[in-house]
């Protein structure tokens, strides 16, 4: 089957060299049982490549299943993949088959493999090397014949150096690597994809097809597309539905593009920086970053309040501030005729004393603040972990681990 026929069959649009190379590798490896590791950013269509490999293989008439490793809690992923016996853990009311048992003879696609816990990685390595696995709560070794295709948007080789991914599993999965290029590296394909999407939406919503002028095409072709093809499709749908004028110019197009396009941000080009995945930071460190920013904001507001009091001695109610030789200022109610009544006072220190106070505030426990932020997110979303994890900027599996670590009960 030639490359264009495969593109037509699976709805792939584009002729860039990087895309064609990735497709050629997928076709060549499909008739083997080699493990494949698909690398690429979120939204580039990694699962489509897994379907291509399975559909062109000798296993095409057997089951295919896609599993998102990042969406399964750490405590249950072993059971999901390898099954469990009755009573093996709380809630295991009966025995259950895992994916490696139900998909025997077929293909299993493990997306976001970088999110898989280390213990599960060891079990997976045994399946890849010997075809053997053991159900949770059992001692009986079972056999399976499953082809594994994995995908990740992380740099797994960096994960291995940090102890977050097994090096032996990485090289076992990476028998045949396929790298799917980001959309911004396929600029010649962007307009082709946009035309396809807008034509589909025009047919779906019974509207006229969207046309871009030359300047608008140039803007779209040079847009960053951090969400890749998925983001382009969303933009095409918005324009198809919301644009009254189907002949879209540059000004109209900009109104549909996010104002904070990350392509306008500086790019680090130091040693090793180019290899750092932008999605690397979508984990618990985001909580710490938010915490630092919130703490700095609180301290700045506190400083501003003190400086305002120092610079504006009158509080608007007849109250005054007096400065003594002890370098403190007393702010009290000194209205005439009220001298015999108790007076409220606030002690304000000098600027260098305020800086000392700021140092004390910034030494608060990060652990306590992180726990407090998680509890607030859960309360905000009424205990819905998925929504809370999105708000915190971490994966649902990371949130689950944090809940157990801090002994936080469901809210």
Residue 42 clears pLDDT 90, i.e. is over it: yes
Is residue 9 domain-shared with residue 149, that is, in the same domain? yes
Domain range for 306 is 287-361
- Give the count of domains, the chain: 4
Q: Are residues 233 and 109 in the same domain?
A: no
Domain assignment of residue 75, yes or no: yes
| Residues 152, 233, 71: CA angle, nearest 5 degrees | 35
**Average pLDDT of the residues in 289-302:** 67
- 318: tokens are 């007849």
Q: CB neighbours (10 Å) of residue 353?
A: 13
**Domain's final residue, options 264, 295, 321:** 264
In this structure, is residue 257 part of a structural domain? yes
> Do residue 328 and residue 378 come from a single domain?
no
Whether residue 122 is predicted with pLDDT greater than 60 in this model: the reply is yes
How many CB atoms lie under 10 A from the CB of residue 244?
A: 5
**pTM of the predicted model over 0.75:** no
Least Cα distance to 330 among 339, 341, 319 occurs for 319
Give yes or no for residue 67 having a pLDDT over 90.
Answer: yes
Task: Please tell me whether residues 192 and 338 are part of one structural domain.
Answer: no
Same domain, 375 and 232: no
Structure tokens at 285: 């460190």
Q: Is residue 201 part of a domain?
A: yes
Of 126, 159, 179, at which residue does a domain stop?
A: 179
**Domain assignment of residue 281, yes or no:** no
Whether residues 77 and 173 share a domain: the answer is yes
Beta carbons of 207 and 246 less than 8 angstroms apart: yes
Q: Based on the domain organization, do 401 and 329 belong to the same domain?
A: no
The rounded distance, in Å, linking the Cα atoms of 316 and 310 is: 14
pLDDT average, residue stretch 24-34: 96
Residues 9, 94, single domain; the answer is yes
- The reply to whether 155 and 189 lie within a common domain is no
Average pLDDT score over residue span 211-221? 95
The Cα–Cα gap between 408 and 194 comes to 46
Mean pLDDT of 49-62: 96
What tokens does 154 get?
């992380």
DSSP type of residue 84: B
Query: Which ranges in 145-278 belong to alpha helices (H)?
Result: 156-161, 167-173, 187-205, 214-221, 228-242, 250-254
Which tens digit of pLDDT belongs to each residue from 132-188? Answer: 999 999 999 999 999 999 999 999 999 999 999 999 999 999 999 999 999 999 999
Within-domain flag for 372: yes
CA distance 148 to 50: 10
CATH number at residue 379: 1.10.10
| Confidence check: pLDDT of 264 > 70 | no
Residues 216 and 109 in one domain: no
Q: 375 in helix, strand or coil? A: helix
Domain presence at residue 275: no
Instruction: Give the containing element (helix H, strand E) for 132.
Output: strand 132-134
Give yes or no: residues 44 and 168 share one domain.
Answer: yes
- What confidence tier does 384 reach under pLDDT thresholds 50, 70, 90? confident
Indicate the residue among 179, 200, 219 that finishes a domain. 179
Has residue 68 got a pLDDT over 50?
A: yes
Contact 59, 148 (CB under 8 A): no
The answer to the question of residue 274 being in a domain is no
Please tell me whether residues 246 and 195 are part of one structural domain: yes
């Amino acid at each position: 089957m030639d490359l264009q026929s495969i593109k037509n069959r699976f709805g792939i649009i584009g002729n860039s060299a990087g895309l064609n190379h990735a497709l050629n590798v997928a076709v060549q490896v499909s008739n083997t049982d080699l493990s494949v590791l698909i690398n690429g950013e979120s939204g580039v269509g990694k699962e489509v490549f897994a379907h291509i490999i399975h559909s062109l293989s000798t296993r095409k008439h057997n089951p295919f299943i896609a599993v998102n490793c990042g969406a399964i809690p750490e405590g249950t992923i072993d059971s999901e993949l390898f099954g469990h016996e009755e009573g093996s853990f709380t809630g295991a009311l009966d025995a259950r088959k895992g994916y490696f048992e139900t998909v025997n003879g077929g293909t299993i696609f493990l997306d976001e493999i970088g999110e898989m816990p280390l213990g599960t990685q060891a079990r997976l390595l045994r399946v890849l090397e010997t075809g053997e696995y053991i159900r949770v709560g059992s001692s009986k070794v079972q056999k399976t014949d499953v082809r594994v295709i994995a995908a990740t948007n992380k740099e797994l080789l960096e994960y291995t150096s940090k102890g977050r991914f097994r090096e032996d599993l990485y090289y076992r999965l990476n028998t045949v690597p396929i790298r799917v290029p980001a959309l911004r590296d396929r600029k010649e394909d962007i307009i082709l994809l946009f035309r396809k999407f807008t034509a589909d939406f025009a047919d779906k919503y019974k509207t006229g097809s969207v046309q871009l002028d030359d300047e608008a095409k140039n803007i779209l072709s040079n847009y960053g597309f951090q969400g890749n093809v998925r983001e382009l499709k969303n933009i095409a749908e918005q324009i198809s539905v919301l644009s009254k004028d189907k002949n879209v110019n540059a000004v109209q197009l900009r109104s549909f593009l996010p104002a904070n396009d990350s392509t306008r941000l500086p790019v680090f080009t130091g040693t090793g920086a180019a290899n750092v995945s932008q999605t690397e930071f979508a984990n618990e460190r985001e909580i710490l970053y938010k915490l630092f920013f919130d703490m700095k904001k609180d301290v700045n507001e506190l400083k501003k309040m003190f400086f305002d009091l120092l610079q504006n001695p009158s509080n608007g109610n007849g109250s005054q501030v007096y400065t003594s030789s002890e370098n403190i200022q007393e702010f009290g109610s000194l209205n005439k005729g009220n001298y015999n009544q108790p007076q409220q006072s606030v002690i304000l220190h000098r600027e260098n004393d305020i800086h000392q106070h700021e140092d004390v505030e910034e030494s608060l426990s990060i652990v306590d603040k992180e726990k407090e932020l998680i509890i607030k997110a859960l309360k905000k979303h009424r205990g819905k972990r998925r929504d809370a994890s999105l708000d915190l900027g971490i994966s649902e599996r990371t949130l689950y681990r944090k809940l157990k670590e801090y002994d936080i009960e469901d809210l």
